[in-house]
Copies of this chain bind each other. A is one copy, B any other.
Amino acid sequence: MSTLPENQPVDMRWDGWGDPARAHGLPGGVKLLLTAMLGRMPKAPPAPRLAEVAISTPPLPDADLAALATAVGAAHVDTGHDVRLLHAGGKSTPDLLRRRQPEQVAPGAVVLPGTEDQVAAVLAVAGERGLAVVPFGGGTAVTGGLEPAAGPHRGVVSLDLRRLSGLVALDDVAHEATFHAGTRAPDAETALAERGFELGHFPQSFEFATLGGFAAMRSSGQNSAGYGRFDAMVTGLRVVTPTGTLDLGRAPGSAAGPDLVRWFLGSEGTFGVITQVRLRVHPTPEARLFDAWTFGDFATGADALRRVAQLGTGPTVIRLSDEAETAVSLAQVGNIGKALARGCSAVVLHEGPADLAAARREATTRVLREAGGTPAAAKLAAAWDHGRFRAPYLRDALLAAGVFCETLETATTWSNLHALKAAATEALAAGFADERARNRILCHISHVYPTGASLYFTVIAGLGAEPLEPWSRVKSRANDAIMGEGGTISHHHGVGTDHAPWLEWEIGEAGIRMLRAVQAELDPAGIMNPGALMQRTVG
């Protein structure tokens, strides 16, 4: 049938990250560093071209397509080979490695509703005809939340929200903005900037992800110290479920029973489709003050960040690389392999009206200095800012060069931070050792709270030409170690299908039953994103 409509955002590279025009090879310095760290890598086999890939799952039969066409119009039901593969999964390293296989699975059709009513109509058709529905925003998921899994159903519809895009309303008194859920984050920021506002949610997926995706996955952005996780920004949601539409979030600070907005944040498309997001925004900051700091070691730096978070001095960004990450300077793509700093480097940003930003910076500076920090060249912070969305492109270059690269993350209390970091690092190292894979394990803190912080690990390893299964074993050990040491299975990547086996460890058997009960109520046929979040039960 049709191809994707014009005037729609560029799809990401189908077998890698982001804008194909921005793909690059490995910088020479990185190659040298990699060889020093990991030895010579076998060149990865060339990836197949998109047109060459066979799809093992058939497109939906004509009767299904005709029914979906009544819901969204024939022009917005797509079974094209390329379009189906572009909706076949997310952007985790295993996702990208599976894109190198000659035969792949893909949804049976991609539908593009243009209104909330059309979303409801798609769910009705899917329910009647026994089709699973996988909501698709920017396609940046990294925990398997976009798997085209039919579960017990006949086929899979990928429900692409790109046509549900744009600013619905801005309340410039209440500082609230309402967007259609398929709005990509840069488009939201552009629309807000024209009106003097900013959302300030900048996860690494920022350039491609959608606001609905942030909500469904409980995303956390790099400016979370200042503006909070996406959870904290959401003041209201509209959600279409197979059994009805919800309009949630009547007022700030309600005590009218449990906060149902929070029941959908993190629901990962399993209860319904988020169609609108109402968000707290703030005036475009007048001042943006970057600073870089150095600490003698990670423990000293982490303690300094803790003091800042607990005193509430008010940084927008505060992040700390451990010794290994500082040395490799992976955070500064382009400079990688050059500046092998000692100790641990930190980046701090203060924003706001000029006077408040300056006062906040002064307060943070005093705390960091008293905690043993040394100011470093501010250009290091500017370099981080400049390169903050580039790491996924480097991953593509690494994978192409036969170097396995992936990230994983968790969070815990400040008091448990070092035990958790050690346990996760040891599990990863032991796992790689069992696979006989030379490796480097880098870590940083990028999100702080009064009671704790996140830990974000980047691993690079020589896992050979078939890294999928070895990595699955290593990751499984890391997950066990994280849970065993009191961490959460995810701070911001979410659960998806990859972490679903660990969710019961996180929330208990009764917690799983609560999720299933809500799912069964809102989606009795179980058509919404089967297998994500909760593991499929047998039968």
Contact = CB atoms under 8 A, between A and B. Distances in A.
Interface residues of A, number: 96
A293 B247 CA distance: 38
A173 B511 contact: no
Interface string A469-511: 0000000000000000011111111110001000100111111
A511 B250 contact: no
A413 B263 contact: no
A488 B256 contact: yes
A311 B507 CA distance: 36
A506 B250 contact: yes
Contacts of A506: 250, 254, 256-257
A151 interface: no
A252 interface: yes
A282 interface: yes
Contact of A244 (B363, B495, B509): B509
A374 interface: no
Interface in A169-217: 171, 173-176, 217
B510 A243 contact: yes
B265 A259 contact: yes
Contact of A533 (B254, B257, B359, B411): B257
A511 B262 CA distance: 12
Contact of A311 (B256, B352, B413, B522): B352
A130 interface: no
What is the oligomeric copy number? 2
A180 B453 CA distance: 25
A514 B508 contact: no
Contacts of A509: 244
Nearest to A521: B517
Contact of A515 (B231, B257, B454): B257
Contacts of A229: 253
A264 interface: yes
19 contacts: A173-B413, A174-B413, A175-B450, A217-B255, A246-B507, A252-B452, A254-B491, A255-B491, A257-B267, A257-B268, A257-B506, A258-B264, A311-B356, A312-B314, A312-B356, A359-B359, A359-B363, A516-B521, A517-B517
Interface of A: 171, 173-176, 217-220, 224, 229, 231, 235, 241, 243-248, 250-260, 262-268, 280, 282-283, 306, 310-314, 352-353, 355-356, 359, 363, 366, 410-416, 447, 449-454, 486-495, 499, 503, 506-511, 513-518, 520-522, 533
